[in-house]
Structure 1
Amino acid sequence: MFRRSLIAVACVAMVACSDSSDNNPPPPVEPIEPVVPDVTLSAEIRRTEFGIPHIKADDWTSLGYGFGYAYAQDNYCVTRREIVFASGRSAELFGEEEGSVESDFLFRYLNGSKEEFEERFVSQLPQFARDLAEGYARGMNRYLEETGVENLPEGDLGCRNAAWVTPFDATDLFFFLRREALRGSSDQGLVRSALLSVAGPDGGNAATPSAQGLEKVAASAAIATLPLRNLDQGSNALAIGSESTQNGSGLLLGNPHQPWFGAGAWYQAHLTLPGEYDVAGAALHGFPFIGIGFNKDVAWTHTVSLANRFSFYELKLNPDNPLQYEFDGELRDIVPQDVTIEVLLPDGTLESRSYTFYESHFGPIVNLKSVSSLLDGWPLFNGSVLAFRDANILTGIRGIQQWITKGQATSLDEYITALDEVGNPVFHEFAADRNGEAFYGEISAIPFVTQAQLDSCVNGIIGPLLAEATTNVIISLDGSTSDCEWGDDPAAPEGSNLYPANLLPQLRTRDYVGNSNNSYWLSNPAQPLEGFPTIMGPVGYEGLQQFLRTRIGHLMVEERKNATDGLSETPLFDLETLKGLMYANRVYGAEVVLDDVLQLCDDGMSADNPEACEVLSRWDRRVDLESRGAQVFNEFWAGIRREFPDPYQSVVANDEFWAVDFDPADPLNTPSGIDLTVEANRNLVTRVLFEATERLATRGLSLDAPWGDLQFLERNGARIPIHGGAGTMGVYGAISARLGDDGYANPSSGNSYIQAVTWDESDCPIADVVLVPSQSTDPESPHFADQTQLYSDKQWVRFPFCEEDITANQIGETLILEE
């Protein structure tokens, strides 16, 4: 049975049972001992301001139990819905419109049956990781049983009275964790489409395309859907060492640009297993461990890395049998594998559907017809097919082990040792410690493909076309020889074929390290990391142009070190100046080009755009709530980027446009300015600015309205203004929102869980944090929008870590959860 609180010893009331004429006292009655059921799980849950739960337990299963219950109180429906998708049952339970047939086929194929998944993946985890997940699932189930499906939250992310809401187990939770690990590879748009577009051998041979046809392949690949996350969902990170801080301790800024709601969103918590694990910060929804956070001595964060996570292999087919391919002079079979799912039809009945995957020893066959029609067919025009291999297929759910071990680190040495597991699917690693050291590492799942292999194995026709068109973001290797197989290293996790941690880019320093989703190259511009294969960071690779957000991040650090940023007259960083940097809201794109736009206004362009020119001349070049004119530049810069599409590097890489071209020797200050001596540029700027004002005018939006009137999040009928702006125009505090009739309403991602962490002489870490979308997705919760308003006001939450601080900030009663 469940018990919500400690059982007190019962008092037994005694009643005399005697005849009125009998003066003798009744015989003594032995007290009845209360029956106390066996307790196998026990967790303490306390909440502090803004609904942050602090969970304490004496074993891993109980810790997960308390965490799962506390999380479910705020967001049960979010993770329960995602588990449906991860288990390959979305079309069966939601129907075809709300579910995804493609996703169901993919994850039934990748995971196999529950029994197969448990044997192949779950059984390989250490016991503490399995116990934690087991407890988490039981805690969420406990919440469901107590609450009842009829009382679950309503709203866009609610699930009241939903037929698909049922208890689940730890294996279902691991299905979900694995799906999240594959979002940057097997489960991202281009790859999923390629995996689900294979019809099998078609019995014909496509004609060899002309030179013009091959150019179309390259052009199509260059503008294909970027097989990466939205770059506004990328993140910033700074880890600052003693040479750059005022008190000699480390400082860390974590600024992930994750989704605000649903899968990939954050939830704040503090988990304590005395003597083993004491970590605070934020976990992704449904994750039973802290992802970005801090403990007594170390703080850490991540940014999305755009290193290669997969590769295609071009297989030369046997002309007499299209289900065979050449490998090392022999023929190997391509093996069909059927997957069947159920689909809920509008009339309430279920329909079975099947799809056939075709497997080579590299992995499944893919079809890239979504990139170009010339890459359709089996065989392709050159008698081959493409296979797909994913670095995270075996990495899978190993991240739970690595993140727990990182959280147990008492020093930077121990943190770095924890990374040897290479359980990180897609992130750059950052850490700082109380002793004043800072660390960066591109220590994530990267296929062991050397530069020599890239130089020799990207051959034939298709491989070089894809590599050139996508600047090495998509690579296709020669699948006919073992010389092009992924390598192995004894220091890497067994059987992973990944680069081991010691061969990946990393930097330990007492200065600082930072990243805003470009490669490892300029983690510290004074100490560039160079000489690594392109597979480790093709976006913003060594010697390539960097994102505007990367540039402004490093430039703000240098200004702070020299006290030229206006935040403080004292050089170097402290906690307050780090927070000031985070909320500066400078638009670096405007700092780079707006003077030239205004010069054109002075030269006569104002005759065509009088109001736009006037508004831009007065704009403060920031995206604060009171900034007027940010919307004009936002639409203008979006228009310029559309004129020079470069989806794989996401920069304007046109030498004719820039007054000062990109210089690899000065990557933080170039390119810059608009070359106004080129008439085409003058005409371009005039036209794009006019189009920008038209987009705003057609929606009835004022060109000089305060930014906070146009960018907002709606919560229970109220509009909460949101500062920050598009990372693609050089805003460090990136917010991803589309222009609509009301402005930039209801951003989908961007600044999410932000933490600024440091230490002083006490044992307690000092952490100021804010969770921009707030803790709960339940519209009836007091924590549905409270931190959103806090962020709007540029305020922070001091995260209580030590016992006396938790006690001082506790809200509500302590809950002892037992089973």
Structure 2
Amino acid sequence: MGRIGFAVLGFVLVVFVGLITWEPFHAEAGEPPATTRIYEAEIVRSEFGVPHIYGETDADVAYGVAIAHAEDDFFTLQDVMAMARGRYGAIAGEEGAQVDYVYHLLDARGTAQRHYAKLPADTRELFEAYATGLNQYAEEHPGELKLANLFPVNGEDIAAGFALRQPFFFGLNNVIEPLVSGAPLRPEFGPAIPEEDLTRQPDAEPIMDGEEPATTASRRALPIYMGEDGALAGSNAWAISPEKSGDGVTRLVSNAHQPWRGGVAWYELVVQSNEGWHYAGANFPGSPFPFLGHNETIGWTNTVNRPDLVDIYQLEMDESGTRYRLDGEWRELESRDIVLPVKLGPVTLPVPQTVYRSVHGPVIANDNGYFAIRYGGIDNLGQLDAYYRLNKAKDLTEFREILGRMDIPSTNFVYADKQGNIGYFYNAAIPDRPKGYNWRSVLPGDDSAAIWQGTVDFERIPQIVNPASGWLYNANNTPFSAAGKGSDLDPAAFAPELGVELKTTNRSRRATKLMEATPVIDRANLERIKYDVAYERAGYLAQMLDEVAALDLSGDAKLAEAQALLAQWDFTADSVGRSDAIALLMIKPFMSAEYQNKEWPDAREELERSVDHLMEHFGRLDPPMSELLRLRQPLGPNAVDLPLDGGSDTLRASTTWSVDEDGRLSVRHGDSFVMFVEWEPGKRVRSESIQPFGAATTRPRSRHYADQAPLFVRHELKPVHFWRVDALQNATRRKTVSNR
């Protein structure tokens, strides 16, 4: 019996060791870039730690971008690289494995393999240089590695990460999740509707709800959630013409609302090479170039838009479940077996899965059948080159030509330039759908004529240049409200099959009201509008308040007190009135239901939830909102815990939060990278910016862990040292890096 016991113990130990070690060796080994080129870059750090990267060539700069970003946040960069190689589950467990499943389902690697080599040589060189920088940092800092054999990476790996992440900016996960789970599809994919009402109304602003512990180890690197929280953030943007500004200055305001940590959190930088690349702005981890900001002559910012870019086809399968019918013929359904790594404590479990594909696109099988997905930007890597070219565009003509390629699948662009031009572009790779189908319903999978090819022409998408009003904005609302009365576009001019969103947001209502009421939108007025914390009594908010007011609460004194507090609320989230805290708690679920097409909340249940929360943690219903809503970086000697203003869906946005143990709401998503850009006649471009924390958000011992937080809560900005002479005058660190 003893020998048998030792044998069993030995077997268990072998299995245990195997589960601990199988994943790194099972994973396909990474390959470094094929190039043997030597790169050299100078990294100059500002007083806030923002890196200014200089190099002889653009590729030298991209190499330096990787080094600088890794110095500040190698933690997140590793997560992004793990996603780009289908290994995130080995770091983040089940949640990471869901991302890996999508990586295989969308064939992100295949997209990179098919198209990366076709990109222009200078674009590929940018990505190879960036990969070289990441590899060098990983080699020089082995103690920071989370996952064995994750590095080296190459340009194709970086490209695969782009192919994975981009579709989620227009809500593809809101289609994948119900198909995977077999749950009902969102309303616009329901039964066929009358032909006279074929216009979809996608979600106006994606919201991320739920709780996340405020610890470094638990931070998600990319919000690709497969549950009800699956969506990305919104944003605000403004452009003011010199005629409207009152002082002849052209102004652009970037006010992105992204998560404050993780793989789609902004990282600020300034880049400059002797090949003409000179840009200040911000990128996401895994990108060699900024996505928004400005160069010497033009600037732009982005807001999430939600055009109808996704179509679903139900396949007719044969009895074997291996073939589908198309135009009267049976075709083999492509299938590929994969193994998802799922970290569970000290072990990593191999979970086998099968992914399918038809000529339509990825296929998901559930109890209701087999469904194929086709989406704008499918099998296209053109965005890698398009963003690079936008960084170096000199004027409106070049900018429009690059956007006109339709390589960037989604996101609005709000533009301004040195010449005083302003523009709004509802950028979207909208499918060129043939007429005759109900594009709001599930489409027949056996009809090849319903499988669209390519996108509509750029001229067909909503866009406004130099409106008579002198101003443009977007707040994740319909593009038919952008420039005010007399300058807005007419919805009737756009075909319903384009699927342009029609919903609005409270931020949109406020922006329109404030801008139309402001004859001169100078710098002071623009800041006042941007930091507005008020709500309009309209839409979901009006309905919520009406439902609360109609409740009979005569039998519950606390609920009746809360009802009375809401009745006297002044519709601001400024922490001045007694009702702000309870209003903040109440608004979010109703906003989420409106924008995410979720089930409408029960007013009494939400009131009870809010009352219980306030009484449990504050012992009163009317604590100052600033005691409830907090900006927190919780770790290390540079931790901060500061009061915040704004709310979900105010122009000063504190959109979503984690509920900490003390009942405080630790904001994790809202106003993130904010930048004011100004072109004054006869002068060089100048800009200012701010972020909620600092340049090194995962380095608790860094003095730049949260050094911007005090400015952020006071609505203050810091200078952007766009010009090298200014960067050197304000430098706190300066070094040269090379792969020699």
TM-score range, shorter chain: 0.7 to 0.9
What is the CA-CA distance between 1:249 and the residue it aligns to? 3.3
Q: For residue 502 of structure 1, what is the aligned residue in structure 2?
A: 459
What is the CA-CA distance between 1:701 and the residue it aligns to? 5.2
CA distance in 1, matches of 2:73, 2:605: 47
Aligned pair in 2 of structure 1 residues 317, 515: CA closer, same or farther (>3 Å)?
Answer: same
Give 5+ residue unaligned stretches, structure 2.
1-35, 184-189, 193-199, 209-230
Q: For residue 644 of structure 2, what is the aligned residue in structure 1?
A: 723
Q: For residue 170 of structure 1, what is the aligned residue in structure 2?
A: 155
Q: For residue 676 of structure 2, what is the aligned residue in structure 1?
A: 756
Q: For residue 53 of structure 1, what is the aligned residue in structure 2?
A: 51
Q: Deviations over 1:567-619 (max 9, x none)?
A: xxxxx122333222222222334997599879969x99897656546755776
Asked if the contact 1:700–1:741 (Cα under 8 Å) also holds between the matched residues in 2, the reply is: no
CA distance in 1, matches of 2:452, 2:489: 27
What is the CA-CA distance between 1:324 and the residue it aligns to? 4.2
CA distance in 1, matches of 2:616, 2:372: 47
Correspondence 1:574 to 2:522: yes
What is the CA-CA distance between 1:632 and the residue it aligns to? 1.3
TM-score (norm 1): 0.72
Q: Deviations over 1:136-160 (max 9, x none)?
A: 12112222333x222x3xxxxxx5x
Q: Deviations over 1:279-319 (max 9, x none)?
A: 0011112211111101111110011111122201233445x
1:692 to 601, 606, 610: 610
SS in structure 2 at match of 1:445: coil
CA distance in 2, matches of 1:112, 1:302: 24
Aligned pair in 2 of structure 1 residues 416, 247: CA closer, same or farther (>3 Å)?
Answer: farther
Correspondence 1:420 to 2:404: yes
Q: For residue 690 of structure 2, what is the aligned residue in structure 1?
A: 770
What is the CA-CA distance between 1:267 and the residue it aligns to? 0.4
CA distance in 1, matches of 2:549, 2:112: 65
Aligned pair in 2 of structure 1 residues 802, 119: CA closer, same or farther (>3 Å)?
Answer: same
What is the CA-CA distance between 1:799 and the residue it aligns to? 0.7
* Counterpart amino acid of residue 273 in structure 2: L
Asked if the contact 1:260–1:748 (Cα under 8 Å) also holds between the matched residues in 2, the reply is: yes
Q: For residue 583 of structure 2, what is the aligned residue in structure 1?
A: 633
Correspondence 1:107 to 2:100: no
Asked if the contact 2:340–2:350 (Cα under 8 Å) also holds between the matched residues in 1, the reply is: yes
Asked if the contact 2:80–2:285 (Cα under 8 Å) also holds between the matched residues in 1, the reply is: no
The 10-residue stretch of structure 1 (687-696 or 413-422) with the greater mean CA deviation from structure 2 = 687-696
**Aligned counterparts, 1:30-45, within 5 A:** 40-45=38-43
SS in structure 1 at match of 2:128: helix
2:128 to 134, 147, 159: 134
Q: For residue 624 of structure 1, what is the aligned residue in structure 2?
A: 574
Aligned pair in 2 of structure 1 residues 604, 78: CA closer, same or farther (>3 Å)?
Answer: closer
CA distance in 2, matches of 1:107, 1:640: 32
Q: For residue 568 of structure 1, what is the aligned residue in structure 2?
A: none
SS in structure 2 at match of 1:698: helix
CA distance in 2, matches of 1:483, 1:117: 24
Asked if the contact 1:737–1:744 (Cα under 8 Å) also holds between the matched residues in 2, the reply is: no
Asked if the contact 1:505–1:529 (Cα under 8 Å) also holds between the matched residues in 2, the reply is: no
**Aligned counterparts, 1:290-329, within 5 A:** 290-317=290-317, 322-328=321-327
**Aligned counterparts, 1:139-288, within 5 A:** 139-146=133-140, 148-150=141-143, 152=144, 163=148, 166-184=151-169, 188=173, 190-191=175-176, 194=179, 230=208, 233-288=233-288
What is the CA-CA distance between 1:782 and the residue it aligns to? 0.9
CA distance in 1, matches of 2:569, 2:170: 41
CA distance in 2, matches of 1:648, 1:48: 40
CA distance in 1, matches of 2:721, 2:298: 16
Asked if the contact 1:283–1:290 (Cα under 8 Å) also holds between the matched residues in 2, the reply is: yes
Correspondence 1:797 to 2:690: no
CA distance in 1, matches of 2:611, 2:628: 15
Aligned pair in 2 of structure 1 residues 514, 118: CA closer, same or farther (>3 Å)?
Answer: closer
Aligned pair in 2 of structure 1 residues 325, 596: CA closer, same or farther (>3 Å)?
Answer: closer
Aligned pair in 2 of structure 1 residues 232, 181: CA closer, same or farther (>3 Å)?
Answer: closer
Asked if the contact 1:190–1:227 (Cα under 8 Å) also holds between the matched residues in 2, the reply is: no
Aligned pair in 2 of structure 1 residues 345, 413: CA closer, same or farther (>3 Å)?
Answer: closer
2:509 to 542, 546, 551: 551
Aligned pair in 2 of structure 1 residues 744, 762: CA closer, same or farther (>3 Å)?
Answer: farther
CA distance in 2, matches of 1:596, 1:577: 30
CA distance in 1, matches of 2:605, 2:100: 46
Q: For residue 485 of structure 1, what is the aligned residue in structure 2?
A: 451
What is the CA-CA distance between 1:641 and the residue it aligns to? 5.8
* Counterpart amino acid of residue 808 in structure 1: Q
SS in structure 2 at match of 1:183: helix
What is the CA-CA distance between 1:762 and the residue it aligns to? 4.3
Q: For residue 25 of structure 2, what is the aligned residue in structure 1?
A: none
CA distance in 2, matches of 1:194, 1:686: 32
Give 5+ residue unaligned stretches, structure 1.
1-37, 153-158, 199-212, 216-221, 370-375, 379-384, 468-474, 488-496, 563-571, 654-683
CA distance in 2, matches of 1:98, 1:638: 24
CA distance in 2, matches of 1:725, 1:325: 52
What is the CA-CA distance between 1:508 and the residue it aligns to? 0.6
Give the root-mean-square deviation of aligned CA atoms: 3.8
CA distance in 2, matches of 1:400, 1:251: 27
SS in structure 2 at match of 1:139: helix
What is the CA-CA distance between 1:786 and the residue it aligns to? 0.8
Correspondence 1:476 to 2:442: yes
CA distance in 1, matches of 2:576, 2:249: 35
Aligned pair in 2 of structure 1 residues 292, 81: CA closer, same or farther (>3 Å)?
Answer: same
Aligned pair in 2 of structure 1 residues 701, 138: CA closer, same or farther (>3 Å)?
Answer: farther
Correspondence 1:815 to 2:736: yes
Aligned pair in 2 of structure 1 residues 536, 805: CA closer, same or farther (>3 Å)?
Answer: farther
Asked if the contact 1:240–1:250 (Cα under 8 Å) also holds between the matched residues in 2, the reply is: yes
Correspondence 1:532 to 2:494: yes
SS in structure 1 at match of 2:644: coil
* Counterpart amino acid of residue 362 in structure 1: H
The 10-residue stretch of structure 1 (577-586 or 78-87) with the greater mean CA deviation from structure 2 = 577-586
Q: For residue 394 of structure 1, what is the aligned residue in structure 2?
A: 379
Asked if the contact 1:636–1:692 (Cα under 8 Å) also holds between the matched residues in 2, the reply is: yes
Asked if the contact 2:313–2:373 (Cα under 8 Å) also holds between the matched residues in 1, the reply is: yes
Asked if the contact 1:248–1:435 (Cα under 8 Å) also holds between the matched residues in 2, the reply is: no
Aligned residue pairs: how many?
A: 658
Q: For residue 94 of structure 1, what is the aligned residue in structure 2?
A: 91
Asked if the contact 2:63–2:132 (Cα under 8 Å) also holds between the matched residues in 1, the reply is: yes
Aligned pair in 2 of structure 1 residues 537, 732: CA closer, same or farther (>3 Å)?
Answer: farther
Asked if the contact 1:232–1:257 (Cα under 8 Å) also holds between the matched residues in 2, the reply is: no
* Counterpart amino acid of residue 406 in structure 2: V
Aligned pair in 2 of structure 1 residues 519, 596: CA closer, same or farther (>3 Å)?
Answer: closer
SS in structure 2 at match of 1:430: strand
Aligned pair in 2 of structure 1 residues 594, 178: CA closer, same or farther (>3 Å)?
Answer: closer
Asked if the contact 1:232–1:727 (Cα under 8 Å) also holds between the matched residues in 2, the reply is: no
Q: For residue 32 of structure 2, what is the aligned residue in structure 1?
A: none
Aligned pair in 2 of structure 1 residues 607, 625: CA closer, same or farther (>3 Å)?
Answer: closer
The 10-residue stretch of structure 1 (330-339 or 403-412) with the greater mean CA deviation from structure 2 = 330-339
Share of identical aligned residues, percent?
23
SS in structure 2 at match of 1:238: strand
* Counterpart amino acid of residue 149 in structure 1: P
What is the CA-CA distance between 1:98 and the residue it aligns to? 6.3
Q: For residue 586 of structure 1, what is the aligned residue in structure 2?
A: 534
Asked if the contact 2:245–2:523 (Cα under 8 Å) also holds between the matched residues in 1, the reply is: no
CA distance in 2, matches of 1:196, 1:640: 24
TM-score (norm 2): 0.79
Q: For residue 624 of structure 2, what is the aligned residue in structure 1?
A: 706
**Aligned counterparts, 1:640-679, within 5 A:** 645-648=593-596
Q: For residue 6 of structure 1, what is the aligned residue in structure 2?
A: none
SS in structure 1 at match of 2:618: coil
